[in-house]
Amino acid sequence: MAQASNPKRTGANFRCSECGWAAIKWVGRCAECQQWGTVAEVSAAAAPLRAVQAVAPLAEHLARPVTELEDDISAHWPSGIDEFDRVLGGGIVPGAAILLSGEPGIGKSTLLLEVAAKAAAAKSRVLYVSAEESLSQVRMRATRTGAMEENLFLAAETDLASILGQVDAIDPQLVIVDSVQTVSSSQSDSLAGSPSQVREVASTLIRLAKNRNVPILIVGHVTKDGSIAGPRMLEHLVDVVCHFEGDKQTGLRFIRALKNRFGPTDEVGCFEMTGSGIREVADPSGLFLSRSRRPVSGTCVTVAMEGRRPLPVEIQALVVKSSAPNPRRVTNGVESSRVAMLLAVLERRAGIGLSECDVYVSTVGGVRLSEPGADLAIALAIASAHSDRALPHNLAVFGEVSLAGEIRPVSSASQRTGEATRLGYVSRIDHSAESIREALRVAFTTSTSARERELDDAF
């Protein structure tokens, strides 16, 4: 194991480009941040350690009591896309550095081109720098999405100095750089996308934003595990970190803030990718519910929370008798481990035998549910499919199911209830039902009453 270097050492040593950890010899993996390939040889003379002398601060920079400081809140200006402004905390703050990450092909460039077009339509000069596509490719997307604005300036540059020159020439009110991993600086000898290059490019762009009081939107790539590529210092340098996510098989997209110095981090924006670009979805309630108004066995509606936004989601289940020694458990949109736990609870605590059945559980619309508040809806949907008895169409449930079969309360219950009431779900089951047995009894008793009313109306 490598030993940490002596601070008094004057010869060459090895330092991690991610976290700055130093060693007296080269190692393949940093012992501090556990990153591979980030330790490189550096010269101690390039960054000598010298004692820092105290300097008397100027009168205008002297520290003052916090109670004497004026409340100077940076004003947000709207981007023209309400769902994007919701995540940013009300809009874009002048001088802010905003990092937008997401998987390739998810729609990051389309979203930012839409933001640029809205800002240009509001008479703001916008500079869109593409380091990945040619000008003709960006113009084709702009034509398709209706982003043809005179105040929108396009540049295809990969050199940081050339980008700074474009900013000086155009003097924009908004700058978009796509992406930080494909821009390189002559101040670093490494290749574009390396940690040192990303750090140099990002720090220069952020300094530009602060000096000119101009917001800069920066696109960032992600790795295989979904984290932002490059040094973690990139996330610390910027003011806002947003992540754009969704299923490529569907047009649904979500944007959420992972870091926000100017607003909350629990807001979620909803979009839909169309052939003509990206469209914001102010009320996504209809995207995750089936269109059939007839009660069908194996379906149950829950109200999930995406940030501070309640979303009604329909969960569908199918239970089929199996002759295989190992019945199948197939899930889509829900965690398979969570479903396996609920199957065990239903069999042990509610007496529903599922060990010889294939079980399929899916969400409508491709939405992914990971919160425990959807446990009760999943369990009721499976029980409904097993008994082939439909639950009432106006029933909404939410609650966490414990291993003991208890129904536990979930967060934001009042918001979930309000959204269910707004959409016409007059019957609800939550943690007021103490156990899964009681929840099943209430649900199917309500189902029988609803079925009797339908028969009365029919005859």
Q: Which residues does 324 contact at the CB level (< 8 Å), separation at least 6?
A: 358
pLDDT of residue 307: 79
Is 6 within a domain? no
Is 376 within a domain? yes
Q: Kindly state whether residues 271 and 303 are assigned to the same domain.
A: no
Predicted confidence (pLDDT) at residue 3 exceeds the cutoff of 60: no
The domain of 330 spans 286-458
Query: Using one digit for the tens of pLDDT, what is the confidence trace for 397-412?
Result: 999 999 999 999 999 9
Q: At 225, which CATH number? A: 3.40.50.300
Longest CA–CA separation in the chain, Å: 96
The domain boundary, picked from 263, 282, 301, lies at 282
Q: Kindly state whether residues 41 and 100 are assigned to the same domain.
A: no
Q: Kindly state whether residues 166 and 270 are assigned to the same domain.
A: yes
Q: Who has greater pLDDT, 432 or 360?
A: 360
| pLDDT level of residue 295 (50, 70, 90 thresholds) | confident
Q: Kindly state whether residues 255 and 303 are assigned to the same domain.
A: no
Mean pLDDT of 197-220: 94
Mean pLDDT, the chain, integer: 87
| pLDDT level of residue 51 (50, 70, 90 thresholds) | low
Q: Kindly state whether residues 147 and 217 are assigned to the same domain.
A: yes
Is 317 within a domain? yes
Separation of alpha carbons 79 and 277, rounded Å:
17
Contact 327, 358 (CB under 8 A): yes
Mean pLDDT of 179-205: 90
What are the tokens at 369?
């549910």
Q: Which range, of 46-55, 71-80, 121-130, 248-257, averages the lowest pLDDT?
A: 46-55
Q: At 365, which CATH number? A: 3.30.230.10
Q: Kindly state whether residues 293 and 244 are assigned to the same domain.
A: no
pLDDT of residue 282: 85
Q: Who has greater pLDDT, 263 or 172?
A: 172
Predicted confidence (pLDDT) at residue 10 exceeds the cutoff of 50: no
Is 68 within a domain? no
Predicted confidence (pLDDT) at residue 11 exceeds the cutoff of 50: no
Cis peptide before 179 (omega within 30 of 0): yes
Q: Kindly state whether residues 93 and 142 are assigned to the same domain.
A: yes
Q: Kindly state whether residues 255 and 356 are assigned to the same domain.
A: no
DSSP summary character for residue 104:
T
Mean pLDDT of 386-407: 93
Is 60 within a domain? no
Mean pLDDT of 307-315: 89
Q: Counting Cβ atoms within 10 Å, is residue 170 exposed (0-12), middle (13-18) or buried (19+)? A: middle
Q: Kindly state whether residues 247 and 389 are assigned to the same domain.
A: no
Predicted confidence (pLDDT) at residue 327 exceeds the cutoff of 60: yes
The domain boundary, picked from 249, 282, 315, lies at 282
Is 159 within a domain? yes
Mean pLDDT of 251-263: 90
Spatial CA neighbour of 176 closest among 224, 142, 225, 140: 142
Is 383 within a domain? yes
Give the number of domains in the chain: 3
Contact 325, 367 (CB under 8 A): no
Contact 396, 425 (CB under 8 A): yes
Is 1 within a domain? no
Q: Kindly state whether residues 338 and 427 are assigned to the same domain.
A: yes
Q: Kindly state whether residues 296 and 245 are assigned to the same domain.
A: no
Predicted confidence (pLDDT) at residue 50 exceeds the cutoff of 70: no
Mean pLDDT of 346-353: 94
| pLDDT level of residue 283 (50, 70, 90 thresholds) | confident
Q: Kindly state whether residues 353 and 318 are assigned to the same domain.
A: yes
The domain boundary, picked from 254, 282, 310, lies at 282
